[in-house]
Amino acid sequence: MCRTVDLHQAVLAKNDENALALRGYLSDRGTVAVNLLSSPGSGKTALLELLLARAVAGGTPAAAVTADLATENDATRLARSGAPVRQILTDGLCHLEAGMLQRRLEGWLPEGTRLLFVENVGNLVCPASYDLGETLRIALASVTEGEDKPVKYPTAFGLAHLVVVTKTDIGEAVGFDREAFLRGVRQVNPGVPVLETSARTGQGVDALLEHVLRCAAGEETHVPVLARQHERYLHSHGNGNGSGHGSAAGHEHEHGREHTHEHTGGHAPVDGQAR
């Protein structure tokens, strides 16, 4: 048991080292990374497609990396926004790591990219423990998942700089208890901003993009109480606006292969788009 704990700590320590270097690499390029965490089916991809499209339309250079266990479906959808997109297939690995992301960005991330959105693997457990060199970490939950998500997954929501509620257009129909959800958020992450969105109606999308852009412009991000209790996390994130220099060294994860595929605009529409 002790050996297992030590190994886990060593993996996290290596990831933190890579994340710090990646944060410096992105800072040197003037790029702000946004790490998106949610469970499967939250509507994260649909919301991100809108964010990318509005960023591109507004003249903000934006790109995205999306991670899944299998299929290129999400990259194909996101590429419809007109932003450059890269897919990472984890072949069963339940989260991204900083070294994996760094390797996929080198030689690909377009010069001048201001915003880099990272759509993590759909999972609220494993990804919560891995810093990806992001400036902004967003935890998302849909109204269809129940109002107790924050208290059931306190690390994912407790370390978020921003919480986003999705699919609010059907909240009443599914009996979503908004106040109970907000109480849960305040319990695990006091003071964290909460934005309510709907990719179907467009509610909150502009507000979300504006929040991201303010952070990119240097506005201080929310500092979670849980981060203060985890010196490792707080130290690696600094003030939330990027620090450190250098490029992360390659770090092969021992679980499965990585694949990468590039996409540009011009893909045919995908039927059955989630809200």
Tokens describing residue 109:
């991330």
Confidence category of residue 95, pLDDT binned at 50, 70, 90: confident
Whether the predicted pLDDT of 221 surpasses 70: yes
For the stretch 155-191, pLDDT in tens is 999 999 999 999 999 999 999 999 999 999 999 999 9
What is this structure's pTM? 0.84
pLDDT score recorded for residue 161 = 98
pLDDT score recorded for residue 236 = 58
Segments of 61-167 assigned E as strands: 62-68, 85-89, 115-119, 136-142, 162-166
Using a pLDDT cut of 90, give the percent of the chain over it: 73
**Cα–Cα dist 275/273, whole Å:** 7
What is the three-class DSSP state of 40?
Answer: coil
Confidence category of residue 253, pLDDT binned at 50, 70, 90: very low
**Cα–Cα dist 156/215, whole Å:** 20
Four-residue CA torsion sign, 236, 250, 89, 199: positive
Mean pLDDT of the chain: 85
